[in-house]
Amino acid sequence: LAKTTQPISMDSYEGQEVNITCSHNNIATNDYITWYQQFPSQGPRFIIQGYKTKVTNEVASLFIPADRKSSTLSLPRVSLSDTAVYYCLDRGSTLGRLYFGRGTQLTVWP
Amino acid sequence: GAVVSQHPSWVICKSGTSVKIECRSLDFQATTMFWYRQFPKQSLMLMATSNEGSKATYEQGVEKDKFLINHASLTLSTLTVTSAHPEDSSFYICSAHGAGGGRGRLAGPTDTQYFGPGTRLTVL
C-alpha cells in the first residue's frame, strides 16, 4: 500500500551533502510528506515533515516542488553515523496509518 | 521529542506459547497506537491500528485472533501473539501519535508519530 518510490540505495562519503529524492505520484491534497530514519534493530526516527516549498530543522532540509509529486531530503555534511535506511511517506489521508515502502539504504564511507 | 517504550526488548519462546508485548507512551497521551512487523531486510508492515477503549482495526491479511491487541489506557497498548510459531519470529514495533500543542489535544493524522524501540521475537 506504499504510495511512494525512492532509490533502493545510495552511497556517499563523510562530509558530503546527500540528497535523497522520493516520488509521490499518488499524493492526496491533504497529505503531508514525512521522512523517517531507521537504524538496524531500532524503531524509525522522525526526521522532518512538510507540505510544500522548503522546511529546515537542525538535522535536515526538505524540498517540495509546487506540484508536490516529489520531495528531496537533504542531509548536510553526512557522517558515518548517518548510515541508515531512510523512508519517505505520504501522511494524512490514511488517518495516521503509515505504509512504508522499501526505503533508501544510505551508506556513508570514511 | 516524545518517548515511546516497548517491553520486552527481546523475547525467546517455545512454539505454541503466547507472548505479550507492551507499548507505552511515556510523556504524552495516545488515543491511537499502531503495531508494525518487520522481517529481516524488509520494510515495516502495518499490522493494526489500536484505538483506546475500542476494538483494534486490522490490516488486510492480519489474523485478529492470532494478534490480540488491547488498548486499555491512553498510555498503554499491548500486542499478544497467541500460539506463536517460528514463522511469527520477527521485529515488532509500535508507534503512537504525539499530541503536540499542549496536553489534552488529540493528535491528528499528520501529527508526528513516534516509534518504540521494537521487540525482537524469536519462536523456537
How high is the mean pLDDT of chain A?
94
Q: Under an 8 A CB cutoff, do A87 and B97 touch?
A: no
Query: How many whole angstroms separate alpha carbon B53 and alpha carbon B2?
Result: 22
Residues A30-80 have pLDDT tens digits of 899 999 999 999 999 999 999 999 999 999 999 999 999 999 999 999 999
Three cell numbers, residue B17:
506459547
Tell me which chain A residue has its CA closest to the CA of residue B37: A43
How would you classify the pairing of strands B90-97 and B32-38?
Answer: antiparallel
- The per-residue pLDDT for B107 is 59
Confidence of residue B17 (pLDDT cuts 50, 70, 90): very high
A77-110 pLDDT, tens per residue? 999 999 999 999 998 767 788 899 999 999 999 9
Q: Among B43, B94, B97, select the one facing A100 at the smallest CB separation.
A: B43
Q: Is B109 on the interface with A (CB under 8 A)?
A: yes
Output the pLDDT for position B1. 62
HSE of B85, CA atoms in CB hemisphere, 13 A: 2
Per-residue pLDDT, B99: 54
Nearest to B109 among A96, A99, A102 (CB): A96
Find, among A23, A18, A42, A8, the residue nearest to A88 by Cα.
A23
Q: State residue B101's pLDDT score.
A: 43
Q: CA-CA distance, A36 to B95, in Å (whole number)?
A: 13
Name residue A53's beta-bridge partners.
A64
pLDDT at position A94 is: 73
User: Is B112 in Cβ contact with A96 (below 8 Å)?
Assistant: no
Indicate yes or no: CB of B95 within 8 angstroms of CB of A99: no
Could you give the CA distance from residue B25 to residue B114 in angstroms, rounded to a whole number? 9
Say how far apart CA B121 and CA B124 lie, in whole Å: 10
Give tens-digit pLDDT for B18-72: 999 999 998 888 888 999 999 999 999 999 998 888 889 999 999 999 999 998 8
- Verify whether the Cβ–Cβ distance A92 to B113 is below 8 Å: no
Interface test with A, best of B41, B113, B119 (most A CBs within 10 A): B113
